[in-house]
């Protein structure tokens, strides 16, 4: 996590579920971040499973469908228990890498998109916000397929998002299956900004304390 006493910038990775979790599809972005001197935190595949379950419950309550409300409650409770069993099994390995509750993620995402949008966009915005406010991220990377509508929409609000979060470095990557010769250059430049953001954030905390 830390090398020679210097904290590596924490980089939260959000975006289209399959692309960000498939190393080939995202051109090994996790390895590129590591090589650039950052500490990557990849939002997991389970996020989408929990989100679809959350939506089931949301729609059932909205339409006042009692049977669906009960089913969705049981499903959400089952998934919640599975998640916590997985964390317990991982023990100290993932002690500081627990994902936030889905309700919190959606609540943060609603600052930029309505919950009815029902796509990765609200998750990307919500998780990015919690990466910063909850986990102390110093940079956000948003990945998506080339011409992906939700990814494009998230990229379109990234400027406003940065303003809302102390101008945190935010990098959008759209992949079309071809190797990107510029990814290393982009990450190196943004990692420099992330180091500055990290140092400034740490300094501000010291001043406030």
Closest CA to 12 of 175, 138, 201: 138
Alpha helices in the chain (DSSP H): 17-21, 29-35, 46-62, 66-90, 102-109, 120-133, 149-164, 183-208
With a cut of 80, say whether residue 92 has pLDDT above it: yes
% of the chain residues with pLDDT over 90: 51
Average pLDDT of span 91-113? 90
Cβ atoms 140, 42 nearer than 8 A? no
Domain ranges of the chain: 2-43+121-208, 45-98
Closest CA to 20 of 38, 45, 37, 49: 45
pLDDT in tens, 137-171: 999 999 999 988 989 999 999 999 999 999 999 99
Question: 2-43+121-208, which class in CATH?
Answer: alpha beta
∠ CA 73-21-181, rounded to 5°: 155
Tokens of 157: 């609000």
SS3 173: strand
Average pLDDT of span 93-119? 89
CA distance 152 to 49: 22
Average pLDDT over all residues of the chain: 87
pTM: 0.86
Tokens of 109: 């995402």
């Amino acid at each position: 996590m830390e090398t020679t006493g210097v904290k590596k910038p924490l980089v939260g990775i959000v975006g289209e579920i399959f692309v960000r979790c498939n190393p080939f599809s995202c051109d090994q972005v996790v390895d590129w971040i590591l090589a650039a001197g950052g500490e990557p935190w990849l939002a997991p595949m389970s996020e989408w499973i929990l989100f679809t379950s959350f939506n089931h419950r949301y729609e059932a309550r909205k339409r006042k469908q009692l049977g669906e409300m009960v089913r969705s409650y049981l499903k959400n409770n089952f998934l919640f228990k599975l998640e916590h069993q997985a964390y317990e099994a991982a023990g100290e390995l993932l002690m500081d890498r627990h994902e936030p509750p889905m309700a919190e993620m959606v609540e943060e995402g609603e600052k930029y998109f309505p919950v009815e949008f029902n796509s990765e966009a609200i998750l990307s915005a919500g998780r990015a916000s919690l990466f910063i406010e909850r986990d102390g991220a110093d940079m956000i990377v948003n990945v998506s397929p080339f011409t992906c509508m939700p990814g494009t929409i998230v990229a379109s609000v990234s400027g406003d998002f940065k303003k809302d979060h102390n101008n945190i470095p935010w990098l959008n990557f759209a992949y079309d299956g071809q190797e990107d010769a510029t990814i290393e250059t982009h990450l190196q430049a943004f990692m420099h900004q992330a180091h500055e953001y990290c140092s400034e954030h740490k300094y501000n905390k010291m001043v406030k304390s």
